């Protein structure tokens, strides 16, 4: 185990290089869930558009079916009026039934015009479904590829972290237990940076300016000096 403070700081410096890389890699790992969510949301959007296209087709087909039933009803009404004409006794009644039959057939004609328009709309919706189905298939392929890439990246990074953790164990026995405990607390709070150099008369981490006495104590390396602002260990390069 290193005995002098200079040795302790030197070893902490080497240890921090490893820890800084570990924290960097772990930040990448922590970003993967959000990346996955973003990728999967693209697929979810494609599925929603495809489902909406299918739903629109069903609505148009239902409307077409309703109109076809209405047209059949009008045709039935016209035939009924025509059949009733055989039983009437006056020209006035005959004319009234004729008019009713004509009105029913006119309504049927209007409905059939609407049906023709809906038939064109049905074809358009079918095409829209085919287009969205193609987009969905492409999206599924692309998302699978991207998720596979993330899984591979994640595996590589985890392997790197494991290697760095093993390397870290070579340094920790060389640091005094109380110093290592302080270092670990700081590095956890400061995202991988516990040790910063003195820059002029200021902290290399947060920029706090130290009084001359503190600057001298840092340069003398007789005791561990901590920044009052960011709590990091200060050393002179």
Q: Which domains does the chain have, with CATH numbers?
A: 25-171 (1.10.287.1490)
The half-sphere exposure of 138 on its side-chain side, counting CA atoms within 13 A, is 6
Joined together, the tokens standing for residue 103 give 């009105």
Q: What is the pLDDT of residues 185-206, one digit of tens each?
A: 999 998 889 999 999 999 999 9
Q: What is the pLDDT of residues 210-237, one digit of tens each?
A: 999 999 999 988 889 999 999 999 998 8
- Torsion sign, CA atoms 71, 73, 77, 80: positive
pLDDT at 192: 87
Tell me how crowded residue 62 is: count the other CB atoms within 10 A of its CB. 10
**CA 39 to CA 7: how far, in whole Å?**
48
Judge contact between 135 and 52, C-beta under 8 A.
Answer: no
Residue 192 CA from chain centroid, whole number: 28
pLDDT at 13 over 80: yes
Q: Is the pTM of this model over 0.75?
A: no
* Long-range CB contacts (within 8 A, 24+) of 117-122: 118/60, 118/63, 118/64, 118/67, 119/64, 121/60, 122/57, 122/60, 122/61, 122/64
The backbone region for 191, taken as left when phi is positive above 0, alpha when psi lies in -120 to 50, beta otherwise, is left
Q: How confident is the model at residue 2 (pLDDT cuts 50, 70, 90)?
A: low
pLDDT at 133 over 80: yes
């Amino acid at each position: 185990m290193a005995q002098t403070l200079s040795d302790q700081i030197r070893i902490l410096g080497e240890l921090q290089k490893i820890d800084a890389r570990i924290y960097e890699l772990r930040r990448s790992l922590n970003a993967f869930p959000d990346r996955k969510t973003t990728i999967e949301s693209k697929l979810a959007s494609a599925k929603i558009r495809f489902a909406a296209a299918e739903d629109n087709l069903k609505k148009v087909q239902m409307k077409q079916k309703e109109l076809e039933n209405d047209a059949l009803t009008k045709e039935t009404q016209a035939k009924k009026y025509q059949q009733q004409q055989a039983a009437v006794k006056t020209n006035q009644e005959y004319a009234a039934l004729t008019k009713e039959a004509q009105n029913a057939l006119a309504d049927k004609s209007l409905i059939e015009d609407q049906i023709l328009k809906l038939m064109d709309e049905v074809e358009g919706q079918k095409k829209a479904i085919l287009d969205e189905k193609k987009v969905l298939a492409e999206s599924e392929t692309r998302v699978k590829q991207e998720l596979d890439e993330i899984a591979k990246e994640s595996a590589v990074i985890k392997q790197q972290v494991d290697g760095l953790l093993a390397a870290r164990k070579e340094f920790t026995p060389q640091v005094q237990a109380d110093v290592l405990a302080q270092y670990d607390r700081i590095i956890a709070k400061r995202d991988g940076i516990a040790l910063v150099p003195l820059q002029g008369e200021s902290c290399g981490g947060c920029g706090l300016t130290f009084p001359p006495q503190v600057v001298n104590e840092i340069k003398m390396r007789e005791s561990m000096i901590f920044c009052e602002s960011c709590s990091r260990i200060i050393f002179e390069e």
